[in-house]
Structure 1
Amino acid sequence: MQTYKTNSEIFEQKAEILKALAHPVRLCIIQTLYHNGPTNVTDMHNCLDKPQSTISQHISKLKSANIIVGKRQGTEIIYSIKNDQIKEIIRILF
């Protein structure tokens, strides 16, 4: 049996990631980004069949948790998964 003696901050960071992902709409957003690559809110709205305001609220939570990032392209914002760690979590889940 392996015992982990490490800074508890690492476990807290991982728990925060999992908490941020622990909602069906946010999981769908991340899975959409994982499979389709960078996309805008409209494309996510079409996939989820939820009001755009609902999607935007969940996007805000994912951005706050440093899971996704948005880049402005003209009049729209294109969202993408911020790092490979999140991609690996989604790959394992689905």
Structure 2
Amino acid sequence: MKYDLSKLEEKAALLKLMSHRVRLCILRGLVREGANNVTYMQGCLDIPQSTISQHLSKLRLGGLVKDERRGTEVYYSVSSREAESIINQLFLEEESNCQEK
């Protein structure tokens, strides 16, 4: 069996970027809620804004989120369909359990 190693490296990098619990939580929130700013995320995550900003920076540099300035605030949203698909699959069972209640 022969694999395209560059594709495997690309997929591994995506999973590595998503694998931190804070980044995973940020992505999950953006997929569920849509675009949000750091202040909103801080209220949900209960961690310092600076920590959230550092993780958002990594996600942005990795091409998973994009930012948009709205007045004085910056809103973030998921820009990677692949990352969105992974988030949806990871939390599919949880979502269906919520809908059954």
Whole-angstrom distance in 2 between the partners of 1:67 and 1:84: 8
Cα separation, 2, equivalents of 1:10 and 1:78: 31
Q: CA deviation at 1:32?
A: 0.5
Say whether 1:10 aligns with 2:7.
yes
Q: Percent identity?
A: 46
The whole-number CA distance in structure 1 between the counterparts of 2:16 and 2:63 is 12
TM-score scaled by length of structure 1: 0.91
Tell me the number of residue pairs that the alignment of Structure 1 and Structure 2 aligns.
91
Q: Structure 1 counterpart of 2:41, which letter?
A: M
Question: Which residue pairs with 1:91 in the alignment?
Answer: 88
- 1:6 Cα shift? 4.3
Residue 67 (1) aligns with residue 58 (2): no
1:58 aligns with 2:41: no
How much is the aligned-residue C-alpha RMSD, in angstroms?
Answer: 1.0
- TM-score by length of structure 2 reads 0.85
Instruction: Note the residue ranges of structure 2 that are not aligned, 5 or more in a row.
Output: 92-101
Gaps in structure 1 of 5+ consecutive residues: none
Aligned counterpart in structure 1 of residue 32 of structure 2, from 30, 35, 39:
35
Indicate the residue corresponding to 1:25 in structure 2. 22
